[in-house]
Amino acid sequence: MESISIQSYLAQLGNRKDPHTGAVSAPIYLSTAYGHPGLGQSTGYDYTRTANPTRDILQEGLAVLENGVQGFATSSGMSAIQLAFSIFPANSHFVASRDLYGGSFRYFQDMEKKGFYSFTYVDDPIDITSAIQDNTAAVYIETPTNPLMKETDIAAVAEIAKKHGLLVIVDNTFYTPLLQRPLDLGADIVVHSATKYAPDDSIDMALDMYKTKDREEVQKAVDREMRPKGMEHLAPRVGQTAENEMAYYKAQAQVNYRTSPEEQAEYIVEKLVKKPTKMNLETIQKRFDDYQPELSETCRKYLARSDVQRTIQDIQAGKLVRMKHAEQSELRKTEPRKDVPKEKEVQKEPAPEKAPAKRHYIKVRRPSGKEKDRGR
């Protein structure tokens, strides 16, 4: 993985792995059962419920992308989340972010009603210390969240969790491993909804496990056949979306007369900071490094300013503040451009008055025989 790019790895995922046929592109195995070459011998595949060659390619790719030990693909989104929680004993307690995908929240409520688990919800997952109990087993977070798109500092949450011996479960659906790798930031378990960015619509959910005591304790997923070929296009889809966004903001800056690199970098930073995802400084700088390299160094100097950092913190805290360059932009909108001469006002002639509409009359015969004119 270190010798090739992620894009190249995804494009070649599963290729040239069929020694019997020499197929360049990995086939889709739809077989339910697999024969054994002899008594007591196995090819590693017995029944598709326990293992499938196509699914193995998908799981291997997911583990590599997340820098995890093993990936597991399941048949539905909620089954993957249930799989993650199945490794914990009954009566375990969990701390979860309050803003969650509705399906996750309903599943947690159902577990509480049945007496299996208990949950405490916090507005800011970083403030988990007061919610931790003696039987707390893990912290569950989404970042960005669904639907409010709130971001959480995974490294900060993981640091607190590790001090109390807790695992960290992260739903990484919206960012995917190309933009965010929770395992590298200290998380233990990562879940993905594959109907968003990862693979294609034939895969509902994929789950990555890391640092588990025994692989068998999570090998309970029963799933349908998976098709990892959709992952070939993951990098272009995610990367092109971010590239288009940065190009759009730069064009907006130019329309607002932001011609210098400093002004354009400031304008784009403000747009990124005020997005619902509330990007942190590291994410913003990475966006510039990847998609606006000509403004990368300018952005780095701008983000290093203490006044800018304070303003960004206030914006992310929900305070109604404006960045300095935004105020300048409002002033510029009221000033005419010096290089464009003001057009002479053209005196328009008043429109001629319209003649009154003519009225037409018809005669209506009443039952009495009398006629009466009625305007029409």
The residues annotated with a catalytic role in the active site are 49, 101, 171, 196
Does residue 27 have a cis peptide bond before it, meaning omega lies within 30 degrees of 0?
no
Give the C-alpha separation, 46 to 304, whole Å.
58
Tell me which residue of 8, 18, 50 sits closest to 32, measured CA to CA. Answer: 50
Would you give the DSSP letter of residue 284?
A: H
**Both ends of the chain: CA-CA distance in Å?**
84
Per the CB < 8 A criterion, the answer to whether 230 and 199 are in contact is yes
| Maximum pairwise Cα distance, the chain | 112
Per the CB < 8 A criterion, the answer to whether 332 and 256 are in contact is yes
Does residue 147 have a cis peptide bond before it, meaning omega lies within 30 degrees of 0?
yes
Task: Return the amino acid letter for 182.
Answer: P
Sheet holding 205-209, edge to edge: 70-74, 205-209, 189-193, 167-171, 136-142, 92-97, 117-122
Give the C-alpha separation, 18 to 1, whole Å.
20
